[in-house]
A = this chain, B = another copy of it.
Amino acid sequence: MSIESPTSSIGVTELFQLLRDGAPRTRAQLAKSTGLARSTVAARVDELMRLGLVTPVEGAASTGGRPPSQFALNPAARVVLAVDLGASHATVAVLDLAATIIAERTDALDIALGPERVLTHVIEAAAALLDSAGRVNADIGAVGIGVPGPVEHSTGRPVNPPIMPGWNNFDVPGWIAQHLDVPVLVDNDVNIMALGERAMSRPGTQHLVFVKVATGIGAGIVSGGRLVRGAQGVAGDIGHVRVARGSEVPCTCGNRGCLEALASGPAIARSLRQAGLDATNGNDVVELVKHGSIDAIQAVRQAGRDIGEVLTACVSLMNPSVIAIGGSMARVGEHLIAGVREIVYTRSTPLATEHLAIVHSAAADKAGVLGAGVLAIEHALAPESVQRLVRG
């Protein structure tokens, strides 16, 4: 039990939560926002500067000889590690507290190798990247990891992930902690992409749905500024909602007529093969579309309509202001999104679509690693984390 006076730590944390957005503020502005006395503010700002979390900023109103009068978050105070694990790749990056990528690498890596081999690669890649960035383990504020399956976010353990053999219930944070003594946040890859998309192109958006269309189809949902994870961490699993068109098409999940069985890259390729075209996978579909194949363009457009059918329910349920379409199939250009828009704008209520933008992902293939970084930064800058730093 602490016997210290609580004053300093509480005041410090409160001030820092104001400054963490990166906008410079004067002591007077900070005093006004918090209701703290100016003398208290001055002492707390000094403490944050001593910890390196806050830095003086030359303000427009600053006059020559005086000391700088504005303060802001110091993005270089800490770094975070961001890890984006896919079915067949691993991207590891080092980001500063402003979510700028300082160092990054992507390697081909099969998630089915199991957690120990995959995470060993992550630890080694992180060490090399930190070294190249001139930072050390003690600088790491947190680690964010996205994996291609459902995750119990509170424990960081994957839950029955269909394409991650050996990972079910594996204690990812516990394993990482054997090598790095930092907090580890684990989440589903599409959830993380939604965070990355929001951070990169729509930082003020409170209600955003990110849809990944690739080998599978999934969504990451931000509502009220927070990720929707659900009771078992499987929220946003739109790939297995039934669509009207394909009620007899079998899906890998054991059901029939699922969106993923009709509109994913492999599903579109299969429909094109049945029409006599040479398409083994989603990449082939993208190439056919780029070469102007009418059959491929029509198939992609129809896949967009199927996705739109499910997203119409999503619009009614969540009332988002942005739907961003990403994933490897988004490379087909406007044809997919045109189908989505066609159905969503036809079937939704006017109020729900009045201000709704349906757009291509701006973060694109950086969405995952940026989102993992944002997840880690959020944790590293949260009141509890700063409180721990202050208490030393």
Interface residues of A (CB under 8 A from B): 1-7, 9-11, 14, 31-32, 34-38, 40, 150, 159-160, 206-207, 219, 221, 223-224, 226, 228-238, 240-242, 244, 253, 255, 310, 312-314, 316-321, 347-349, 351-352, 354-356
Establish whether residues A244 and B244, one from each chain, have CB atoms under 8 Å apart when the complex forms. yes
- Of the candidates B234, B242, B244, B317, the one whose C-beta lies within 8 Å of that of A352 is B234
Chain B residues with CB below 8 A from A38, complex form: 1, 3
Bound-state CA distance A350–B219 (Å) is: 18
Not counting A224-B226, A242-B347, a sample of 9 additional A-B residue pairs whose C-beta atoms are within 8 angstroms of each other reads A6-B37, A159-B351, A160-B351, A207-B231, A230-B320, A231-B320, A235-B318, A241-B316, A314-B317
Given contacts A160-B351, A226-B226, A232-B354, contact A34 B6 (CB under 8 A): yes
Shortest A35–chain B CB gap in Å is 5
Number of copies: 2
Chain B residue nearest to A391 in the complex (CB): B35
Shortest A347–chain B CB gap in Å is 6
18 A-B residue pairs with Cβ-Cβ distance under 8 Å, sorted by A, are A1-B35, A2-B37, A5-B40, A6-B7, A6-B40, A207-B230, A219-B317, A223-B235, A224-B228, A226-B226, A228-B228, A230-B320, A233-B319, A235-B318, A236-B316, A240-B349, A255-B349, A313-B313
Chain B residue nearest to A256 in the complex (CB): B347
Chain B residues with CB below 8 A from A233, complex form: 319
Chain B residue nearest to A257 in the complex (CB): B347
**Chain A binding surface SS class:** loop
Establish whether residues B230 and A223, one from each chain, have CB atoms under 8 Å apart when the complex forms. yes
Establish whether residues A319 and B352, one from each chain, have CB atoms under 8 Å apart when the complex forms. no
Establish whether residues A318 and B228, one from each chain, have CB atoms under 8 Å apart when the complex forms. yes
Chain B residue nearest to A247 in the complex (CB): B244
Chain B residue nearest to A349 in the complex (CB): B240
Chain B residue nearest to A234 in the complex (CB): B319
Bound-state CA distance A37–B1 (Å) is: 8
Establish whether residues B4 and A312, one from each chain, have CB atoms under 8 Å apart when the complex forms. no
Question: A4, A7, A221, A235: which has the most chain B beta carbons within 10 Å?
Answer: A235
Given contacts A2-B37, A234-B349, contact A316 B221 (CB under 8 A): no
Chain B residue nearest to A206 in the complex (CB): B231
Chain B residues with CB below 8 A from A354, complex form: 232
Chain B residue nearest to A153 in the complex (CB): B224
- Of the candidates B1, B150, B319, the one whose C-beta lies within 8 Å of that of A32 is B1
Shortest A392–chain B CB gap in Å is 13
Establish whether residues B316 and A238, one from each chain, have CB atoms under 8 Å apart when the complex forms. yes
Chain B residue nearest to A207 in the complex (CB): B231
Chain B residues with CB below 8 A from A244, complex form: 244
